Structure 1
Amino acid sequence: MLARSRRFGAGAGGAEMRFFPIAVLALFLALPSHADVLVHLKDGRTITVPVEPDEVRSVEFVRGSKAAKLPPASTSAGPQVWKVGPGLPLAAPSAAAKVAENGDTVEIAAAIYDSDVAVWRQSNLTLKGVGGRPHLRAAGRAAQGKAIWVIRGNNVRIENIEFSGTAVDDHNGAAIRGEGNGLTLDGVSAHDNQMGIMIGKFPDSDVVITKSLFYNNYVRGRSRPIGHNIYIGNVRSFTLTQSKVYGARIGHNVKSRARQTIIANNAIFDGADGRASYQIDLAAGGIARIEGNRIEQGTAPENTTLLSYGAEEAIHAENRLAVIGNVFRNAYRSGTFVHNHMDIPAELKGNKMIGAGVILRGKGTIDGK
């Protein structure tokens, strides 16, 4: 049974609220009045109920004979852990995005979440898959016309989650769009989107990707299906380690404009169907260290250079390129392994070059010479 009641803590006019479950109202009114619980309605109104947080065991929303329990209230004001999964009150990640607060952890059960997209505005947030890897299968949807997940908060960590299938009209539909300072991806898989990850201009941001997989992110249905697996804008630092990135078409497998870029111990390659422009594009120069990677160009590249440095504008005060201990392989009939477009000498040391091509174009040394 539902009862109609006046709003608690209503603004000017004391407007009447919509139907509110009588079981919830009775529970709250029976408790001592020492603090406030706020219930935010979708239409912008707020219900204020006086109650101490540690006095609430659970909250039930009753519609007819069915009741759904929200996660238990915390006995402290500290970070919360929100459980997401089929059959739970928070059945999809987008539901958790509406209730989580700064510093919380969202644990997402392994399942397929079709057409579920979200904007995360919280900072110091951890989003992690548990019990396997949950798959956010966007089916062409995108939050804010940008990505499956738009990350607006600072210092956000994403672990063990798979993203696929987003597309937008401007052809920049990404698995993840970063719009805050500080983002870490650990064990993430992003594939078959228009872009893998996109980060814009955030000069105070540090972006870390480790133990992750980015592949086949490109624009479908166009004669020139430009798309980047990883696109990092002007951030303070970008670090890519122990990951596999492949299958870009026309676009780049890895593109970074960061002030400092470290790419170490990865596999970055075209694969059977890839034809990337560059395997690695350090478009704006900066301090860069490329070490211990396997970097391979296929038989039909869009651009025959594997690693390009400083091909676009020079925006950083300090520029330095070290390419150390990598294995480069070129399956095309010609090419350039490293192209330094800047007026500073690149350092190439201990690399293995397999296939045809010029080892270094531009200034620099090869094994000290």
Structure 2
Amino acid sequence: MQFIQLLNKLVINIVITLSLVLTCVMSPAAAAKKVYVDGMPFDSLSDAVPAIVDKSTIYLEKGVYTKGAYITKSDISIIGEPGVVFDGAFVDGKAALVLTGNNVLVESIECTNIAVPDGNGSCIKFEGRNITIRDLYVHDSQSGVMTSRVKGSVNIEFSKFERLGNRNGYSHAMYIIADELNVRYSTIVSNKKQGSGIKSRSAKVLVENSLLATLDGVDSRLIDMAEYGELIIRDSILQQGPNSSNSQLIAYGLEKKPKKFAINRIELKNNLIFYDRDVNVLISKRLDDEFVNRGNVFVGDFNHPNQMVPGNSWYLSRQAAKVKPYPYLPTIEERTLVMDQIRALGNKENL
């Protein structure tokens, strides 16, 4: 009897020990996190910042970071191990990472619950020249990526922005003021509180191989080009959801300011566009010098088809296009196949 009791006690202790080990392994908050600057270890990101110099590489071990960082150096790389999460972290009343140097790379981090007193807290606030952001996941925050008025390019690749927006349309998944914004192989979905997916005052915006969708969010528009410039959207998927607060997917120059840039044109090519709102408008624009609109597939009813359909294909509903009902959307990788299936099987409208 005593032996059985001892055996049971031993088994219970083993189970408790294994449970604690698994908890430590599986919980990002419990994981030990070191920060390395050019190979030198630090116990926290705050401790590491003074060691950062131009051309440094900053490596973050996985874990939850509740404090942000203000980094001024140029030609740096900030690389996260899979599982790096900035949760509620911000500095300078702006963002989890405030970066003011030139030629910066940020790769493989996640941000959530970023909120600041002025209502515009972001994952990254960039105030330098040239940044590449790759494998970023920002969600459930006031905004995603913001810049001051900067020179050079902002490049966002293989990233996801989800459930962002605040202050009734004054916070967005991206708010970029640069010479050029390039968004590739990225997803922007379910913006809230009338935030836009991309709000830009840049000279050029290129969106390609990306998915921008309202879904069940309450967004403003997918893209808002406030000060004109060149807007190119190609090989992408756009969707307007039933709760979008504006009828237009895209706004171009609606703030009625004078032209600021030498090139003011719009190009929409080879996109798959879904309309799931009662009243849908592809684009509201003014003072563009050129509007190129061809090779797109429109699914759903929308205003002004006579102006928009020539050079494109239009299917009055998802049912007519032979695609699944809302909220289905294909992945970026499925876009070409789904467009080919719609053209082959769907009942096309003819104007």
Partner of 1:302, secondary structure, is coil
The alignment status of 1:103 with 2:55, answered yes or no, reads: yes
- 2:83 matched to 1:133? yes
1:50-89 matches, cutoff 5 A: 81-82=38-39, 89=41
Is 2:109 the counterpart of 1:165? no
What runs of 5+ residues in structure 1 fail to find an aligned partner? 1-69, 72-79, 84-88
1:101 alignment partner, SS class: coil
1:304–1:182: structure 2 CA closer, same or farther, 3 Å change rule? same
Matches within 5 A, 1:1-369: 81-82=38-39, 89-113=41-65, 115-130=66-81, 132-138=82-88, 141-202=89-150, 204-219=151-166, 224=168, 226-233=170-177, 235-249=178-192, 250-272=194-216, 274-312=217-255, 313=257, 314-358=259-303, 366-367=310-311
Give 1:101 deviation, angstroms.
0.5
Report the secondary structure of 2:152's partner residue.
strand
Deviations 1:42-99 (A, max 9, x none): xxxxxxxxxxxxxxxxxxxxxxxxxxxx98xxxxxxxx6246xxxxx41232322221
Question: For residues 179 and 336 of structure 1, what CA distance do their matches in structure 2 show?
Answer: 35
Checking the alignment, whether the CA contact within 8 Å between 1:347 and 1:365 is kept in structure 2 is no
- Residue identity in the other structure for 1:98: P
- Separation in structure 2 between the aligned mates of residue 82 and residue 315 of structure 1, nearest angstrom: 45
How many residue pairs match? The answer is 277
Q: Distance in 1 between matches of 2:187 and 2:108?
A: 15
Question: What's the offset of the Cα at 1:251?
Answer: 1.4
Structure 2 Cα separation of the partners of residues 360 and 303 of structure 1? 18
Higher-helix-fraction structure: 2
3-state secondary structure, aligned to 2:49 = helix
Structure 2 spans left out of the alignment, 5+ residues: 1-34, 313-350
Alpha-carbon distance in 1 for matches of 2:51, 2:62: 20
Corresponding residue of 1:17: none
Shift in Å at residue 143 of structure 1? 0.6
Distance 1:343 1:107, change over 3 A: closer
- Of all paired residues, the percent bearing the same amino acid is 25
Q: Report the Cα offset of residue 275 of structure 1.
A: 1.6
Q: How far, CA to CA, are the matches of 2:64 and 2:208 in structure 1?
A: 32
Larger relative CO (CA 8 A, sep 6+): 1 or 2? 2
Name the counterpart of 1:43.
Answer: none
> Separation in 2 of the partners of 1:183 and 1:133?
22
Shift of 1:135: 0.7
Return closer, same or farther for 1:286/1:360 CA change in 2, 3 Å cut-off.
Answer: farther
Partner Cα distance (2:209, 2:45) in 1: 32
Distance 1:310 1:163 in 2: 31
Per-residue CA deviations over 1:15-61 (Å, capped at 9, x if unaligned) read xxxxxxxxxxxxxxxxxxxxxxxxxxxxxxxxxxxxxxxxxxxxxxx
* Per-residue deviation, 1:278: 0.5
Mapped to 2, the partners of 1:252 and 1:94 lie a distance apart of 32
CA 1:343–1:189 in 2, change beyond 3 Å: closer, same or farther? closer
- Mapped to 1, the partners of 2:125 and 2:304 lie a distance apart of 35
Root-mean-square deviation (Å): 2.4
2:348 equivalent in structure 1: none
Q: TM-score, normalised by structure 1?
A: 0.70
Extract structure 1 runs of 4+ deviating beyond 6 A: none
Q: Is the 8 A contact 1:336 1:360 kept in 2?
A: no
Normalising by structure 2, report the TM-score.
0.74
> Structure 2 CA distance, aligned partners of 1:142 and 1:212?
20
Mapped contact 2:169–2:220 kept (Cα < 8 A): no
Provide the C-alpha distance between the structure 2 equivalents of 1:91 and 1:188, rounded to a whole number of angstroms: 23
Structure 1 251/367 Cα, relative in aligned 2: closer, same or farther at 3 Å? Answer: same
CA distance in 2 between counterparts of 1:123 and 1:239 reads 21
Larger Cα-atom Rg: 1
CA contact (8 A) 1:256 1:282 kept: yes
Following superposition, the deviation at residue 288 of structure 1 comes to 1.8
